[in-house]
Amino acid sequence: MQCWICASPANGTCRFCGRAVCREDAKTHPFVLEVYPSDGNLYGLAVEDALHCGVCKPRPEPVLMDFLASPKVPNDAKALNAAKAPTAAKAPTAAKPRKTKKSDE
């Protein structure tokens, strides 16, 4: 593999984007391996000098993943399901009382 920046033989790949870089062009960037809560605080396991290509831009702040939120169900589909459920439940309950009445008499 060749360096993304100068096309000489690469010495490693960026921890963030996967680009290959040579020793001269390689940079370092802190990389958080894991964040875990303890005693009400958040602790992180991090590598201080993870290999960074210098091209990609790891975000210094969290990015809101609003596009991963649950997909919106059309209101029409919800209304159809809500309307179907009660009618289906009515049939069995209507049939049961007749049998119990007969056994009581």
Contact (CB, 8 A) for 50 and 29: yes
Dihedral over Cα of 80, 83, 89, 94: its sign:
negative
Residue 5 vs 50, nearer CB to Zn ion: 5
Position 25 contacts Zn ion (CB under 5 A): yes
Q: Is 16 in the site for Zn ion (CB under 5 A)?
A: yes
Q: Determine if 14 is a binding residue for Zn ion (CB under 5 A).
A: yes
Give dist(CA 101, CA 88) in Å, integer. Answer: 22
Residues that bind Zn ion (CB under 5 A): 3, 5-6, 14, 16-17, 19, 22, 25, 53, 56
